[in-house]
Structure 1
Amino acid sequence: MMNHDQPSAKDQCGKIWSGIQLLKDTTENKHFLPTGLEGIDTLLGGGLRQGQLTEVTGPSSSGKTQVCLHSASLVAAKNMGVVMYLDTSNSFSASRVATIIDGSSDLFELGLDLQPKDMRLKSVMRSIICESVFDIFALFEVLHQLEVSLLNDKVNNGGSKMCLLIIDSISSLLAPIIGGKYPQGRSMMISVAMILKKLADEHNLSVLVTNHMVSAGNGAVKPALGESWRAVPHVRLVLSRECGSNICTATVLKHTLKASGRTAKFVVPS
């Protein structure tokens, strides 16, 4: 019987892995980028794994964008590498990034406590590239340009290479093309998936995307984009938020190394 919590010998991009390659990939090649949200980082064994695509899904106001902003802020503040943030709904906020950094318990460790607030924000924002992307065709263009730039080593900041790609939210770009208006919609969706996983694998990026929820019938909900997309992410988390509170719960729906169903609470600072 196949253990679905273990890496597949053949990933979604069609690449065949030997046992030695799988072991090396697990123990040597990949590192974790912290989200800055302790519960999520503990749940994932360290954070967002480089070389993998992580999906965060959940209903509206469950904390999906906050996970993206916290991840971008902390990775940039720690000088771990360049972050590209593809914003599909004007959700990116430099003032929110400033609030996250100012409220970080790692402020002293990062050496940011000695900087004036405006200098602190500028220092972090130098490592974050934010682009607005409002349809699937713009996404293809941005990803193509990114691939060329990475191959030519042009995405860097003072020698630090790109390490994190965020798309908030990918479902707002993909859902409109799989309803019927575009006959090739599902093929386009899988093309996006293959490009993202190729970028993650070949350039050792962590790819973080968000997805919304849709009705599953009988009052239940499920992640959008259907069965074709479900196989794409290496890791899937579903978020929920306690009513009138900033306490959220993350649940593992899928993970290459962890058991599904594990949960952890985390606080989204106000």
Structure 2
Amino acid sequence: MGALKYLTVKYASIDADFLQFCASHGIFSVEDFLVHDVYVLVASAEKLSNSDRLKQGINQLLSIIETLHQPWVNGLVLLEDREQNKHCLSTGGKSFDMLLQGGLRVGHVTEFVGPSSSGKTQICFQVASNVAMKLGSVVFIDSGNSFSPTRIKQIVTRISGSVENRVHGILQQAMRNIECHAVFDVYALLNVLHQLKSSLESQAGYKARLIVVDSISSLIAPILGGSNAQGYALMVSVGYLLKKLADRHNIAVLVSYLTFCCLLAGSI
């Protein structure tokens, strides 16, 4: 659903005053709203002169969320979805596939943690190369300006074999299949994820098989600390979007962390 400002066109009660009120509570998107206590927001609105209008906006937003949430499904439907769509994507490495019991699970977020210079980015390159070569589109979100086409070429060449003409064709296809986005703060990350969500829902034939976020630590660390409720809300929003994209569109998601951020993994 994305940023609240996009709802102003269709819903009169979600106006500039309501957006300003939400912003004062660190709420800029529907996901931010979902992680806030509605009763606290209502109590805060009641202290203001335009409280009735603000409460109409809150109720309108709740109504929108209720209308658009996924319907309840029974266990048989979930089982069929799991068997038909929620398979595993090979990482391209036998040891990793064995460790993950088959590879990266489609429809889920897979996280791995390690200290600086431990090879996390190389794993991301390995997985992205393998999926782009054999399965289809990869969205690679690069937070450290570390994406290396040269390294991707080396990995693809190694996996493909030694026949030069064959390697050239596979390399071109793999590079076309990798869509790289450089992001340097959590807001840019959220923007990319919202754009991806919109493309998956509106563009016929657009399909991503894998999303890689390398590394999410540099984006999350600056917004946390002390009693920074907005920072936590933004972190939860990222996790919510990644899980939603994975499950709804049958995508495998791979997220890397520095060791000092390992305690954050449960929120993503």
| Residue type of the alignment partner of 2:119 | G
Q: Write out per-residue CA displacement over residues 123-176 of structure 1, whole angstroms, 9 at most, x where no aligned residue.
A: 2101000010000111111111111001013674xxxx2110000001111111
1 or 2, which has the higher helix percentage? 2
> Matched residue of 2:117: which SS?
coil
Residue pair 1:85, 1:128 contacting (<8 A) in 2 also: yes
Unmatched tracts of structure 1, length 5 or more = 1-11, 215-223, 234-270
Q: Distance in 2 between matches of 1:34 and 1:144?
A: 27
Corresponding residue for residue 70 of structure 1: 126
Pair 1:95-2:168 in alignment: no
SS of residue matched to 1:115: helix
Of residues 44, 53, 59 in structure 1, which corresponds to 2:115? 59
TM-fit CA distance, 1:120: 3.9
Higher relative contact order (CA 8 A, sep 6+): 1
1:23 equivalent in alignment to 2:58: no
Contact kept? 2:113, 2:262, Cα under 8 Å = no
Which aligned pairs between 1:151-166 and structure 2 lie closer than 5 A?
151-153=201-203, 156=206, 161-166=207-212
Task: Output the TM-score relative to the length of structure 1.
Answer: 0.67
- State the 1:115 CA deviation: 2.0
Percent identity of equivalent pairs: 45
Q: 2:190 matched to which residue of 1?
A: 140
Secondary structure of 2:199's aligned partner: helix
- Matched with 1:261 is none
Bigger Rg, which one: 2
TM-aligned CA distance change 1:62 to 1:155, over 3 Å: farther
Query: Pick from 231, 238, 260: which aligns with 1:192?
Result: 238
SS at match of 1:56: strand
Structure 1 contact 174–225 (Cα < 8 Å) conserved: no
Unaligned runs of 5+ in 2: 1-34, 36-68
CA distance in 2, matches of 1:95, 1:155: 29
Structure holding more strand per residue: 1
Structure 2 SS opposite 1:209: strand
> Could you tell me which amino acid in structure 1 is paired with residue 176 of structure 2?
R
